[in-house]
Amino acid sequence: MIELFERWRTLADYLRSILRIAAGFAFTLHGTMKLFAFPAKMGSGIHVFSQMGLAGILEVFGGGLMVIGLFSRPVAFILSGEMAVAFFQVHFPRSFWPILSGGELAMLYCFIWLYFSAAGPGPWSIDAIISRSRN
């Protein structure tokens, strides 16, 4: 049993890559809904030159960069900030409790991206490929 746990621990870096890819993909979908009404329309339409338009751009392009693992640390830091703004500007005024304000996703994404800004993208990323080619 101990061997199983030790083996599981060795997979942490790969699981970090999987989490980055899954979170980046889901995050990108939030942006495509805002900008392209895909896979569903969000509200009555978003103007690109608005705060929601900027959020959509960050989500589409930042989420896409997170999926492939390129410029992961600075992009994750920017996305974490975007989600902090979303939480405190939109959700927090409704309620202190994220479950009541609808801010669970904004809060979770904020801390997921903050984690990636510190931990890096993991071995399955373009950043890792570039790093290995330099050594």
Query: Per-residue pLDDT tens for 25-47?
Result: 999 999 999 999 898 887 766 77
Q: Tell if the pTM clears 0.75, that is, is over it.
A: yes
Structure tokens that stand for 101 in this block: 């304000």
Range of 45's domain?
A: 2-134
Determine the Cα–Cα distance for residues 116 and 126; give it in Å rounded to an integer: 14
Instruction: Give the pLDDT confidence of 69-89 residue by residue, as tens digits.
Output: 999 999 999 999 999 999 999
Structure tokens that stand for 50 in this block: 């608005």
Number of independent structural domains in the chain: 1
pLDDT range class, residue 2, cuts 50, 70, 90: confident
Give Cα 93 to chain centroid, integer Å.
Answer: 23
92 secondary structure, DSSP code: T
Burial level of 2, CB count in 10 A (0-12/13-18/19+)? exposed
